[in-house]
Amino acid sequence: MFKFTKRNEDLRQRIQDHFTNEQFAAAVNRAITHLGSTNIFGSSYKIELSNALNPADLALLANSDEYLTMVSYLPPADSSGKWNFCPWATDGCRAVCLGIGSGRMNHGKDALATREFDMDKTVVTQAMMKRAELFMADREAYICKMIVEIWLHLNKATRQEKLAAVRPNGTTDILYEKVAPQIFAIFQDVQFYDYTKAPLKLRKPTTNYHLTFSRAETLENQQNAAEWIDAGFNAAVVFNTDKYNLPAEFENRPVLNGDIHDMRFKDAPGHWVGLSAKGAAKKDTSGFVVQV
């Protein structure tokens, strides 16, 4: 169980303006009791690609610093059958989401068609559900456990002579700057980043929280994408190509390859972030995936 010691004195100092020592330790231990061996953050194929970028690859990006990153996965949209963690998801997005239709999180075409998901299907989906249950039942415990894991991640990155990056929304669209503003204040030396479909007026990213809008098939979403881009942000768009054949331009703006790495804060502004269709998205007919 968690307790403060000399070894985590830096963590104690970081949280002192936000929690008492007793409050924080108790919350972390409630989280540990609920989660067991499950962590809030983990990795993925694309996260590992990001962590493995060599100096030559990094030199080609707008930001060439070396980062160690991690991500958190909860049940996307309404797939839990209990809550909706993606309130701005379109039908097309919900139907082909990577969190239910690709890789180790793929529930299969029958479940995708009926939207009846077995969240006890695999250890991966079980872990996603455990995190969701804690997030909804004990928000303080969830946030405090996030803080501990981010602190450990920061220390690991430092030992590797890298900077730390964190993606809180791997398969969700939670407004963390409103839900957990403490994490951005406590870790001003960590780069946070996410995708979002929320309108620009609803998001208030901090200086260390980078957001990329996610384009979909509806007119409302595409109008929101234009607002984000006009304000100096980037927007991601999925194409029906592989990652080696993404278009050079889309709607009169340049397209950069978003499949090379996951760290969107490294992207030069004023671009579409091109992503290749994966998993169920390869058969999309809603318009979510752009045909080229």
250's enclosing H/E stretch is strand 249-250
- pLDDT per position as a tens digit, 72-117: 999 999 889 999 999 999 999 988 877 665 565 565 555 555 566 6
Give the Cα separation of 105 and 75 in Å (integer). Answer: 10
Are 260 and 49 spatial neighbours (Cβ–Cβ below 8 Å)?
Answer: yes
Which among 173, 188, 176, 166 is positioned nearest to 51, based on CA atoms? Answer: 166
Backbone angles phi, psi at 172, to 5 degrees: -135, 175
The parent domain of residue 65 ranges over 6-283
Kindly state whether residue 1 falls inside one of the protein's structural domains: no
Residues of the chain scoring pLDDT < 50: none
Kindly state whether residue 38 falls inside one of the protein's structural domains: yes
What are the b/e assignments for 246-283, b being 16+ CB within 10 Å? Answer: beeebeeeebbebbbbbbbbbbeeebbbbbbbbbbbee
Kindly state whether residue 81 falls inside one of the protein's structural domains: yes
Give the Cα separation of 238 and 98 in Å (integer). Answer: 12
Kindly state whether residue 137 falls inside one of the protein's structural domains: yes
Domain count, the chain: 1
- What pLDDT was estimated at residue 119? 66
- What pLDDT was estimated at residue 109? 54
Kindly state whether residue 292 falls inside one of the protein's structural domains: no
Question: Model's pTM, two decimal places?
Answer: 0.93
Kindly state whether residue 43 falls inside one of the protein's structural domains: yes
